[in-house]
Chain A
Protein backbone atom coordinates (compact mmCIF):
# COMPACT_ATOMS: atom_id res chain seq x y z
CA UNK A 1 0.00 0.00 0.00
CA UNK A 2 1.21 3.53 -0.67
CA UNK A 3 2.48 5.60 2.21
CA UNK A 4 1.86 9.24 2.98
CA UNK A 5 4.14 11.34 5.18
CA UNK A 6 2.79 14.57 6.54
CA UNK A 7 2.81 16.82 9.58
CA UNK A 8 -0.42 16.95 11.55
CA UNK A 9 -0.70 19.56 14.28
CA UNK A 10 3.08 19.76 14.44
CA UNK A 11 3.66 16.00 14.65
CA UNK A 12 5.30 14.00 11.82
CA UNK A 13 3.16 11.04 10.74
CA UNK A 14 3.73 8.31 8.16
CA UNK A 15 0.64 6.28 7.37
CA UNK A 16 -0.32 3.54 4.91
CA UNK A 17 -3.32 4.51 2.82
CA UNK A 18 -5.17 3.43 -0.33
CA UNK A 19 -5.25 5.59 -3.43
CA UNK A 20 -8.87 6.44 -2.67
CA UNK A 21 -8.36 7.27 1.03
CA UNK A 22 -9.57 10.82 1.66
CA UNK A 23 -7.62 13.22 3.86
CA UNK A 24 -10.57 13.31 6.27
CA UNK A 25 -10.50 9.50 6.52
CA UNK A 26 -6.79 9.59 7.28
CA UNK A 27 -7.38 12.15 10.03
CA UNK A 28 -10.41 10.54 11.63
CA UNK A 29 -9.88 6.83 11.10
CA UNK A 30 -6.11 6.41 11.00
CA UNK A 31 -5.04 9.17 13.38
CA UNK A 32 -8.13 9.26 15.61
CA UNK A 33 -8.58 13.00 15.16
CA UNK A 34 -12.37 12.99 15.14
CA UNK A 35 -12.70 16.73 15.67
CA UNK A 36 -12.84 17.13 11.90
CA UNK A 37 -16.40 16.21 10.88
CA UNK A 38 -18.04 14.84 7.76
CA UNK A 39 -21.38 16.53 7.19
CA UNK A 40 -22.20 15.96 3.56
CA UNK A 41 -19.32 14.15 1.89
CA UNK A 42 -20.36 16.07 -1.28
CA UNK A 43 -18.03 19.08 -0.92
CA UNK A 44 -20.82 21.44 0.13
CA UNK A 45 -20.97 21.86 3.91
CA UNK A 46 -17.46 22.66 5.13
CA UNK A 47 -17.70 20.59 8.34
CA UNK A 48 -14.47 18.88 7.22
CA UNK A 49 -12.37 22.04 6.67
CA UNK A 50 -8.76 21.85 7.86
CA UNK A 51 -5.73 23.99 7.09
CA UNK A 52 -3.34 22.59 4.48
CA UNK A 53 -0.09 24.56 4.59
CA UNK A 54 -2.12 27.37 6.19
CA UNK A 55 -4.91 27.44 3.61
CA UNK A 56 -8.40 26.15 4.33
CA UNK A 57 -9.46 23.09 2.34
CA UNK A 58 -12.31 20.60 2.43
CA UNK A 59 -10.61 17.44 3.66
CA UNK A 60 -13.42 15.30 2.19
CA UNK A 61 -12.43 16.59 -1.25
CA UNK A 62 -8.73 15.84 -1.06
CA UNK A 63 -6.95 12.51 -1.33
CA UNK A 64 -4.71 11.66 1.58
CA UNK A 65 -1.90 11.15 -0.95
CA UNK A 66 -2.32 14.74 -2.20
CA UNK A 67 -1.32 15.86 1.29
CA UNK A 68 2.06 14.11 1.14
CA UNK A 69 4.68 16.49 2.53
CA UNK A 70 2.05 19.00 3.67
CA UNK A 71 1.49 20.50 7.09
CA UNK A 72 -2.09 20.01 8.31
CA UNK A 73 -3.79 21.82 11.17
CA UNK A 74 -7.03 20.45 12.57
CA UNK A 75 -9.22 21.84 15.33
CA UNK A 76 -7.31 19.65 17.81
CA UNK A 77 -4.15 21.58 16.99
CA UNK A 78 -5.45 25.03 17.94
CA UNK A 79 -5.45 25.23 21.74
CA UNK A 80 -2.18 25.71 23.65
CA UNK A 81 -0.62 22.77 25.50
CA UNK A 82 -2.05 24.08 28.80
CA UNK A 83 -5.56 24.09 27.33
CA UNK A 84 -5.78 27.83 26.64
CA UNK A 85 -8.15 28.16 23.72
CA UNK A 86 -7.17 29.78 20.43
CA UNK A 87 -8.80 33.25 20.25
CA UNK A 88 -11.20 31.97 17.56
CA UNK A 89 -12.33 29.12 19.80
CA UNK A 90 -12.60 31.45 22.80
CA UNK A 91 -14.76 33.91 20.88
CA UNK A 92 -17.01 31.15 19.52
CA UNK A 93 -17.65 30.20 23.16
CA UNK A 94 -18.01 33.77 24.34
CA UNK A 95 -20.53 34.72 21.64
CA UNK A 96 -22.56 31.49 21.65
CA UNK A 97 -21.55 30.79 18.06
CA UNK A 98 -22.61 27.16 18.28
CA UNK A 99 -25.62 25.13 19.22
CA UNK A 100 -25.23 21.47 18.26
CA UNK A 101 -21.57 22.09 17.43
CA UNK A 102 -21.43 19.86 14.39
CA UNK A 103 -20.35 22.58 11.95
CA UNK A 104 -18.09 24.28 14.51
CA UNK A 105 -14.68 22.71 13.78
CA UNK A 106 -15.01 23.56 10.09
CA UNK A 107 -16.33 27.04 10.86
CA UNK A 108 -13.40 27.72 13.20
CA UNK A 109 -10.80 26.54 10.68
CA UNK A 110 -12.36 28.52 7.81
CA UNK A 111 -12.61 31.57 10.04
CA UNK A 112 -8.92 31.37 10.98
CA UNK A 113 -7.90 31.23 7.31
CA UNK A 114 -10.25 34.13 6.56
CA UNK A 115 -8.79 36.34 9.31
CA UNK A 116 -5.19 35.40 8.52
CA UNK A 117 -5.59 36.21 4.85
CA UNK A 118 -7.05 39.66 5.64
CA UNK A 119 -4.54 41.45 7.88
CA UNK A 120 -6.24 44.72 6.92
CA UNK A 121 -9.39 43.55 8.73
CA UNK A 122 -12.74 42.20 7.57
CA UNK A 123 -16.11 43.92 7.39
CA UNK A 124 -19.23 42.06 8.49
CA UNK A 125 -20.19 41.60 4.83
CA UNK A 126 -16.78 40.13 4.04
CA UNK A 127 -17.09 37.69 6.95
CA UNK A 128 -20.52 36.54 5.74
CA UNK A 129 -19.23 36.20 2.18
CA UNK A 130 -16.16 34.32 3.44
CA UNK A 131 -18.33 31.67 5.10
CA UNK A 132 -20.02 30.57 1.88
CA UNK A 133 -18.33 27.19 2.05
CA UNK A 134 -19.61 26.44 5.56
CA UNK A 135 -23.19 25.50 6.35
CA UNK A 136 -24.75 25.71 9.81
CA UNK A 137 -28.21 24.25 10.41
CA UNK A 138 -28.64 25.69 13.91
CA UNK A 139 -27.39 29.17 14.64
CA UNK A 140 -28.58 31.32 11.75
CA UNK A 141 -24.90 32.41 11.43
CA UNK A 142 -25.39 35.68 13.30
CA UNK A 143 -23.37 34.79 16.37
CA UNK A 144 -20.73 33.07 14.26
CA UNK A 145 -20.18 36.35 12.42
CA UNK A 146 -19.98 38.21 15.75
CA UNK A 147 -17.46 35.70 17.11
CA UNK A 148 -15.22 36.06 14.06
CA UNK A 149 -15.39 39.86 14.22
CA UNK A 150 -14.30 39.71 17.87
CA UNK A 151 -11.62 37.10 17.25
CA UNK A 152 -10.01 39.02 14.42
CA UNK A 153 -9.23 41.88 16.83
CA UNK A 154 -7.63 39.47 19.32
CA UNK A 155 -5.68 37.66 16.60
CA UNK A 156 -4.35 40.89 15.13
CA UNK A 157 -3.36 42.18 18.60
CA UNK A 158 -1.61 38.90 19.31
CA UNK A 159 0.25 39.13 16.03
CA UNK A 160 1.32 42.71 16.67
CA UNK A 161 2.48 41.79 20.19
CA UNK A 162 4.49 38.87 18.78
CA UNK A 163 6.02 41.10 16.12
CA UNK A 164 7.02 43.65 18.78
CA UNK A 165 8.78 41.04 20.92
Chain B
Protein backbone atom coordinates (compact mmCIF):
# COMPACT_ATOMS: atom_id res chain seq x y z
CA UNK B 1 0.00 0.00 0.00
CA UNK B 2 1.26 3.48 -0.79
CA UNK B 3 1.35 5.78 2.22
CA UNK B 4 -1.18 8.58 2.68
CA UNK B 5 -2.14 11.21 5.22
CA UNK B 6 -5.08 10.37 7.46
CA UNK B 7 -7.62 12.68 9.00
CA UNK B 8 -10.73 12.07 11.07
CA UNK B 9 -12.86 15.22 11.02
CA UNK B 10 -15.46 15.82 13.71
CA UNK B 11 -17.95 17.68 11.54
CA UNK B 12 -19.55 17.17 8.14
CA UNK B 13 -18.35 20.60 7.00
CA UNK B 14 -14.74 19.72 7.86
CA UNK B 15 -15.05 16.37 6.10
CA UNK B 16 -16.43 18.00 2.95
CA UNK B 17 -13.62 20.54 3.08
CA UNK B 18 -10.99 17.78 3.43
CA UNK B 19 -12.52 15.85 0.53
CA UNK B 20 -12.31 18.95 -1.63
CA UNK B 21 -8.50 18.73 -1.59
CA UNK B 22 -6.50 16.98 -4.33
CA UNK B 23 -6.65 13.16 -4.34
CA UNK B 24 -8.72 12.85 -1.18
CA UNK B 25 -10.75 9.70 -0.50
CA UNK B 26 -13.47 9.01 2.06
CA UNK B 27 -13.10 6.01 4.37
CA UNK B 28 -16.06 4.39 6.12
CA UNK B 29 -15.81 0.70 7.09
CA UNK B 30 -12.76 0.16 4.91
CA UNK B 31 -13.98 -3.28 3.83
CA UNK B 32 -13.66 -2.27 0.19
CA UNK B 33 -11.31 0.70 0.28
CA UNK B 34 -8.51 -0.98 2.25
CA UNK B 35 -8.37 -4.03 -0.08
CA UNK B 36 -8.39 -1.58 -3.03
CA UNK B 37 -5.49 0.41 -1.53
CA UNK B 38 -3.55 -2.81 -0.93
CA UNK B 39 -3.92 -3.62 -4.63
CA UNK B 40 -2.67 -0.11 -5.44
CA UNK B 41 -5.75 0.46 -7.58
CA UNK B 42 -6.15 3.86 -5.99
CA UNK B 43 -3.57 6.29 -4.67
CA UNK B 44 -5.12 8.92 -2.39
CA UNK B 45 -2.94 11.64 -0.90
CA UNK B 46 -5.29 11.86 2.06
CA UNK B 47 -7.84 9.48 3.53
CA UNK B 48 -10.78 11.14 5.29
CA UNK B 49 -12.30 8.89 7.96
CA UNK B 50 -16.06 9.47 8.26
CA UNK B 51 -16.37 7.59 11.57
CA UNK B 52 -16.37 10.75 13.68
CA UNK B 53 -19.31 12.46 11.98
CA UNK B 54 -22.11 10.88 14.01
CA UNK B 55 -23.79 9.55 10.87
CA UNK B 56 -24.87 6.22 12.39
CA UNK B 57 -28.40 5.43 13.47
CA UNK B 58 -31.80 4.08 12.46
CA UNK B 59 -35.15 5.85 12.49
CA UNK B 60 -38.52 4.43 11.51
CA UNK B 61 -41.39 6.83 10.86
CA UNK B 62 -44.53 5.44 9.27
CA UNK B 63 -43.43 3.44 6.27
CA UNK B 64 -40.02 5.09 5.96
CA UNK B 65 -36.87 3.50 7.34
CA UNK B 66 -34.04 6.04 7.49
CA UNK B 67 -30.54 4.76 8.11
CA UNK B 68 -27.39 6.82 8.67
CA UNK B 69 -24.59 6.35 6.15
CA UNK B 70 -22.02 4.95 8.59
CA UNK B 71 -24.41 2.43 10.15
CA UNK B 72 -22.83 -1.00 9.90
CA UNK B 73 -24.43 -3.96 8.16
CA UNK B 74 -24.43 -5.78 11.53
CA UNK B 75 -26.41 -2.95 13.17
CA UNK B 76 -29.01 -2.93 10.39
CA UNK B 77 -29.34 -6.73 10.52
CA UNK B 78 -29.80 -6.75 14.32
CA UNK B 79 -32.17 -3.78 14.52
CA UNK B 80 -35.60 -4.80 15.86
CA UNK B 81 -37.05 -1.64 14.29
CA UNK B 82 -35.80 -2.63 10.84
CA UNK B 83 -36.85 -6.26 11.37
CA UNK B 84 -40.37 -5.07 12.18
CA UNK B 85 -40.78 -2.31 9.57
CA UNK B 86 -38.85 -3.79 6.65
CA UNK B 87 -37.78 -7.39 7.40
CA UNK B 88 -36.37 -8.02 3.90
CA UNK B 89 -33.89 -5.17 4.45
CA UNK B 90 -32.66 -6.63 7.76
CA UNK B 91 -32.39 -10.01 6.09
CA UNK B 92 -30.37 -8.58 3.19
CA UNK B 93 -27.94 -6.90 5.60
CA UNK B 94 -27.54 -10.17 7.53
CA UNK B 95 -26.41 -11.92 4.35
CA UNK B 96 -23.61 -9.54 3.37
CA UNK B 97 -20.14 -11.08 3.52
CA UNK B 98 -19.36 -12.54 6.92
CA UNK B 99 -19.70 -11.36 10.53
CA UNK B 100 -16.41 -9.44 10.49
CA UNK B 101 -17.30 -7.65 7.26
CA UNK B 102 -20.74 -6.81 8.67
CA UNK B 103 -19.21 -5.49 11.90
CA UNK B 104 -17.29 -2.83 9.97
CA UNK B 105 -18.83 -2.36 6.52
CA UNK B 106 -21.41 0.41 6.18
CA UNK B 107 -24.51 1.24 4.15
CA UNK B 108 -23.02 4.45 2.73
CA UNK B 109 -19.80 2.71 1.71
CA UNK B 110 -21.68 -0.02 -0.08
CA UNK B 111 -23.87 2.40 -2.05
CA UNK B 112 -21.00 4.79 -2.87
CA UNK B 113 -18.90 1.88 -4.09
CA UNK B 114 -21.71 0.44 -6.28
CA UNK B 115 -20.02 -2.91 -6.81
CA UNK B 116 -22.02 -4.73 -9.52
CA UNK B 117 -22.40 -7.69 -7.15
CA UNK B 118 -23.22 -5.77 -3.96
CA UNK B 119 -26.50 -6.31 -2.11
CA UNK B 120 -27.60 -2.87 -0.89
CA UNK B 121 -28.00 -1.38 -4.40
CA UNK B 122 -30.77 -3.94 -5.03
CA UNK B 123 -32.85 -2.92 -2.02
CA UNK B 124 -32.24 0.77 -2.67
CA UNK B 125 -33.52 0.49 -6.22
CA UNK B 126 -36.46 -1.79 -5.35
CA UNK B 127 -37.73 0.32 -2.48
CA UNK B 128 -37.46 3.71 -4.21
CA UNK B 129 -34.85 4.81 -1.68
CA UNK B 130 -33.70 8.40 -1.43
CA UNK B 131 -29.97 8.87 -0.92
CA UNK B 132 -29.27 12.07 1.01
CA UNK B 133 -25.91 13.78 0.84
CA UNK B 134 -24.39 17.00 2.18
CA UNK B 135 -25.64 18.63 -1.04
CA UNK B 136 -28.94 17.09 -2.12
CA UNK B 137 -31.35 14.18 -2.18
CA UNK B 138 -30.88 11.66 -5.00
CA UNK B 139 -33.46 9.07 -6.04
CA UNK B 140 -31.98 5.56 -6.22
CA UNK B 141 -33.04 5.37 -9.87
CA UNK B 142 -30.71 8.30 -10.66
CA UNK B 143 -27.95 7.34 -8.23
CA UNK B 144 -26.55 4.14 -9.78
CA UNK B 145 -24.82 4.92 -13.07
CA UNK B 146 -22.96 1.77 -14.05
CA UNK B 147 -20.01 -0.28 -12.78
CA UNK B 148 -18.60 1.32 -9.63
CA UNK B 149 -20.13 4.61 -10.83
CA UNK B 150 -22.67 6.78 -9.03
CA UNK B 151 -24.09 10.28 -9.19
CA UNK B 152 -21.81 11.33 -6.30
CA UNK B 153 -19.35 14.15 -6.84
CA UNK B 154 -15.83 13.84 -5.39
CA UNK B 155 -16.58 16.00 -2.34
CA UNK B 156 -20.07 14.64 -1.80
CA UNK B 157 -20.79 12.53 1.29
CA UNK B 158 -23.81 10.29 1.73
CA UNK B 159 -25.35 11.22 5.07
CA UNK B 160 -28.39 8.95 5.22
CA UNK B 161 -30.68 6.78 3.14
CA UNK B 162 -34.48 6.66 3.36
CA UNK B 163 -36.09 3.38 2.28
CA UNK B 164 -39.84 3.09 1.61
CA UNK B 165 -40.95 -0.16 3.25
CA UNK B 166 -43.06 -2.13 0.73
CA UNK B 167 -46.14 -4.16 1.70
CA UNK B 168 -44.47 -7.34 0.49
CA UNK B 169 -40.81 -7.88 -0.25
CA UNK B 170 -38.02 -10.42 -0.24
CA UNK B 171 -34.39 -10.66 -1.26
CA UNK B 172 -32.94 -13.90 -2.53
CA UNK B 173 -29.26 -14.20 -3.23
CA UNK B 174 -27.36 -16.91 -5.01
CA UNK B 175 -23.95 -16.41 -3.44
CA UNK B 176 -20.59 -17.16 -4.81
CA UNK B 177 -19.46 -19.40 -1.94
CA UNK B 178 -15.87 -18.11 -2.02
CA UNK B 179 -16.42 -14.35 -2.18
CA UNK B 180 -19.91 -14.37 -0.63
CA UNK B 181 -20.95 -11.69 -3.12
CA UNK B 182 -24.05 -12.29 -5.28
CA UNK B 183 -23.73 -14.33 -8.47
CA UNK B 184 -27.31 -13.19 -8.86
CA UNK B 185 -29.42 -11.42 -6.25
CA UNK B 186 -33.02 -10.41 -6.82
CA UNK B 187 -35.02 -8.03 -4.65
CA UNK B 188 -38.78 -8.12 -5.28
CA UNK B 189 -41.08 -5.53 -3.74
CA UNK B 190 -44.74 -4.62 -3.95
CA UNK B 191 -45.52 -1.23 -2.50
CA UNK B 192 -47.24 2.10 -2.98
CA UNK B 193 -45.28 2.80 -6.17
CA UNK B 194 -46.17 -0.58 -7.67
CA UNK B 195 -43.99 -3.61 -8.23
CA UNK B 196 -40.21 -3.38 -8.33
CA UNK B 197 -37.76 -6.12 -9.29
CA UNK B 198 -34.09 -5.17 -8.87
CA UNK B 199 -31.32 -7.50 -10.00
CA UNK B 200 -27.73 -7.37 -8.74
CA UNK B 201 -24.68 -9.53 -9.49
CA UNK B 202 -25.68 -10.13 -13.09
CA UNK B 203 -25.71 -6.89 -15.06
CA UNK B 204 -22.71 -5.61 -16.99
CA UNK B 205 -23.66 -2.14 -15.82
CA UNK B 206 -24.45 -3.10 -12.26
CA UNK B 207 -27.85 -3.21 -10.60
CA UNK B 208 -30.92 -2.90 -12.88
CA UNK B 209 -34.71 -3.08 -12.79
CA UNK B 210 -36.27 -6.03 -14.58
CA UNK B 211 -39.28 -4.36 -16.20
CA UNK B 212 -40.63 -7.51 -17.90
CA UNK B 213 -40.79 -9.23 -14.51
CA UNK B 214 -42.32 -6.12 -12.93
CA UNK B 215 -45.15 -6.02 -15.48
CA UNK B 216 -45.88 -9.73 -15.03
CA UNK B 217 -45.93 -9.46 -11.24
CA UNK B 218 -48.09 -6.36 -11.46
CA UNK B 219 -50.76 -8.56 -13.10
CA UNK B 220 -50.44 -11.31 -10.47
CA UNK B 221 -48.00 -11.52 -7.56
CA UNK B 222 -47.05 -15.18 -7.87
CA UNK B 223 -43.93 -17.11 -8.93
CA UNK B 224 -45.85 -18.64 -11.86
CA UNK B 225 -46.36 -15.18 -13.32
CA UNK B 226 -42.69 -15.29 -14.34
CA UNK B 227 -43.04 -18.59 -16.27
CA UNK B 228 -41.91 -18.23 -19.86
CA UNK B 229 -40.31 -14.78 -19.47
CA UNK B 230 -36.66 -15.06 -20.37
CA UNK B 231 -33.90 -12.56 -19.63
CA UNK B 232 -31.77 -11.69 -22.67
CA UNK B 233 -28.07 -12.40 -22.05
CA UNK B 234 -26.81 -9.38 -24.03
CA UNK B 235 -26.23 -7.06 -21.10
CA UNK B 236 -25.32 -9.74 -18.55
CA UNK B 237 -21.94 -10.59 -17.08
CA UNK B 238 -19.77 -13.50 -18.14
CA UNK B 239 -16.86 -14.52 -15.93
CA UNK B 240 -15.13 -17.66 -14.63
CA UNK B 241 -18.06 -18.25 -12.28
CA UNK B 242 -20.78 -18.36 -14.92
CA UNK B 243 -21.70 -17.32 -18.44
CA UNK B 244 -24.19 -14.59 -19.30
CA UNK B 245 -26.69 -17.28 -20.38
CA UNK B 246 -26.27 -19.06 -17.04
CA UNK B 247 -26.88 -15.83 -15.15
CA UNK B 248 -29.90 -15.05 -17.34
CA UNK B 249 -31.45 -18.38 -16.40
CA UNK B 250 -30.53 -17.91 -12.76
CA UNK B 251 -32.30 -14.54 -12.61
CA UNK B 252 -35.62 -16.22 -13.40
CA UNK B 253 -35.09 -19.00 -10.85
CA UNK B 254 -33.99 -16.63 -8.09
CA UNK B 255 -36.76 -14.10 -8.82
CA UNK B 256 -39.39 -16.85 -8.44
CA UNK B 257 -37.87 -17.93 -5.15
CA UNK B 258 -37.94 -14.35 -3.95
CA UNK B 259 -41.61 -13.93 -4.83
CA UNK B 260 -42.41 -17.23 -3.11
CA UNK B 261 -40.55 -16.06 0.01
CA UNK B 262 -42.23 -12.64 0.14
Contact = CB atoms under 8 A, between A and B. Distances in A.
B35 A63 contact: no
Nearest to A42: B35
Interface of B is mostly: mixed
Interface in B23-72: 27, 30-31, 34-35, 37-38, 47, 49, 51
Interface residues of A, number: 29
A7 interface: no
Interface stretch (A29-37, A51-59, A79-87, A153-161): A51-59
Nearest to B47: A19
Given A42-B38, A133-B97, A133-B98, A63 B6 contact: yes
A114 B103 CA distance: 12
Contacts of B3: 18-20
B99 A56 contact: yes
Interface in B66-121: 74, 97-101, 103-104
Interface core residue of B1, B27, B103, B104 (most chain A CB under 10 Å): B103
A66 B35 contact: no
A68 B5 CA distance: 15
Contact of B6 (A19, A62, A110): A19
B21 to A, nearest CB: 14
A20 B4 contact: yes
Contact of B103 (A2, A18, A57, A68): A57
Contacts of A41: 38
Contact of A61 (B31, B49, B74, B178): B31
A65 B74 CA distance: 22
B99 A62 contact: no
A124 interface: no
Contacts of A91: none
Contact of B49 (A43, A52, A66): A66
Contact of B30 (A66, A113, A132): A66
Interface in A106-122: 110, 113-114
A62 B29 CA distance: 8
A105 interface: no
A49 interface: yes
A62 B47 contact: no
Nearest to A64: B6
Contacts of B74: 55
Contacts of A43: 31, 34-35, 101
Contacts of B1: 20
B26 to A, nearest CB: 13
B219 to A, nearest CB: 37
Contacts of B104: 57-58, 61-62
A56 B97 CA distance: 14
Given A61-B30, A62-B34, A110 B5 contact: no
Among all A-B residue pairs, the 3 with the closest Cβ atoms: A133-B98, A132-B98, A19-B6
5 contacts: A19-B4, A19-B6, A42-B35, A44-B178, A133-B99
